[in-house]
């Protein structure tokens, strides 16, 4: 974490932002991703919690330079994090009291309601990617949105963390707790579920290629069926 007191038109303003990935939350990263044209001040505001309106009162704009440099470093580290295979063994949520969940020993999505919801979220994310960029080698560029990652993690963690019966509406409320996870915890776990779709319970090698092959076989089968109905029988 880097802190700096900045001179403003109304006095001094303390600004502190993360400098390491394990200081950055999923929620902060999501908020930045949701802004298509993120400015330096908006990024600093999200990472520090200081409103842009207050940052606008800083007298010398060059004082933001040190923060911009660290934001660039963080963005580079985030890119590498997407490709990290290591999954945290435990994750702690801070509700009324800290709740620690063992992750690595049980990576199946349960119960059935959570499984079906997570599978639908992932399928829709893949579908949107293919519709936008095409199916040719889509798995090479596919990266799930942080929103989808948050939703899948909510499905996975809700019952384990709260001890409550599965409830889709309460899961949506639970997303707020998921956003508090460190990105170093959240993204590797979410990536696991996207990499083992549609089973969501164990790792699958080259699953995207197999999924695409299956989809193509189904398309070919439908095409042949259509031809059979169009070609009259010679018997």
Token pair belonging to 156: 């996975």
Phi then psi dihedrals of residue 29, to 5 deg: -65, -40
What percentage of the chain reaches a pLDDT higher than 90?
25
Q: Which of 153, 159, 179, 21 is nearest to 99 (CA)?
A: 159
pLDDT at position 105: 59
Q: Rounded mean pLDDT of 48-71?
A: 88
Please state, rounded to an integer, the average pLDDT across all residues of the chain: 80
pLDDT at position 133: 82
pLDDT at position 233: 42
What confidence tens digit (pLDDT) does each residue in 163-175 have?
Answer: 999 999 999 999 9
Alpha carbons 140 and 81: distance in angstroms, whole number: 16
The band of 107, judged by pLDDT with boundaries at 50, 70 and 90, is: low
pLDDT at position 141: 74
Whether the CB-CB separation of 166 and 114 falls below 8 Å is answered with: yes
Alpha carbons 132 and 143: distance in angstroms, whole number: 13
Q: Does the pLDDT at position 110 exceed 50?
A: yes
Which residues are registered as beta bridge partners of 99? 93
pLDDT at position 145: 86
Q: Which residue has the higher pLDDT, 151 or 197?
A: 151
pLDDT at position 161: 93
The band of 200, judged by pLDDT with boundaries at 50, 70 and 90, is: low
What confidence tens digit (pLDDT) does each residue in 75-103 have?
Answer: 778 777 766 778 888 999 998 889 999 88
The band of 144, judged by pLDDT with boundaries at 50, 70 and 90, is: confident
Q: Rounded mean pLDDT of 127-138?
A: 80
pLDDT at position 179: 95
Phi then psi dihedrals of residue 153, to 5 deg: -65, -35
């Amino acid at each position: 974490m880097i802190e700096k007191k900045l001179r403003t038109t109304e006095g001094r303003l303390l600004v502190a932002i993360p400098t390491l990935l394990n200081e950055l939350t999923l929620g902060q990263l999501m908020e930045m991703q949701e802004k298509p044209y993120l400015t330096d001040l908006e990024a600093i505001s999200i990472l520090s919690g200081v409103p842009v309106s207050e940052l606008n009162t800083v007298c010398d704009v060059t004082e933001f330079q040190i923060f911009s440099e660290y934001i660039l470093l963080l963005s580079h580290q985030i890119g590498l994090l997407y490709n990290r295979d290591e999954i945290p063994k435990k994750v702690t949520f801070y509700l009324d009291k800290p709740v620690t969940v063992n992750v690595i020993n049980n990576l199946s999505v349960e119960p059935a309601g959570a499984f079906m919801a997570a599978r639908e979220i992932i399928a829709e994310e893949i579908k949107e990617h293919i519709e936008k960029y095409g199916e040719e080698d889509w798995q090479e560029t596919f990266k799930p949105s942080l929103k989808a990652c948050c939703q899948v993690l909510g499905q996975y963690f809700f019952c384990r963390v709260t001890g409550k019966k599965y409830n889709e509406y309460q899961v949506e409320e639970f997303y707020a707790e998921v956003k508090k996870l460190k990105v170093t915890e959240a993204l590797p776990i979410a990536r696991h579920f996207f990499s083992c779709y549609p089973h969501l319970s164990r790792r699958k090698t080259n699953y995207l290629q197999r999924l695409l092959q299956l989809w193509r076989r189904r398309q070919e089968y439908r095409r042949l069926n259509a031809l059979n109905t169009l070609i009259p029988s010679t018997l």
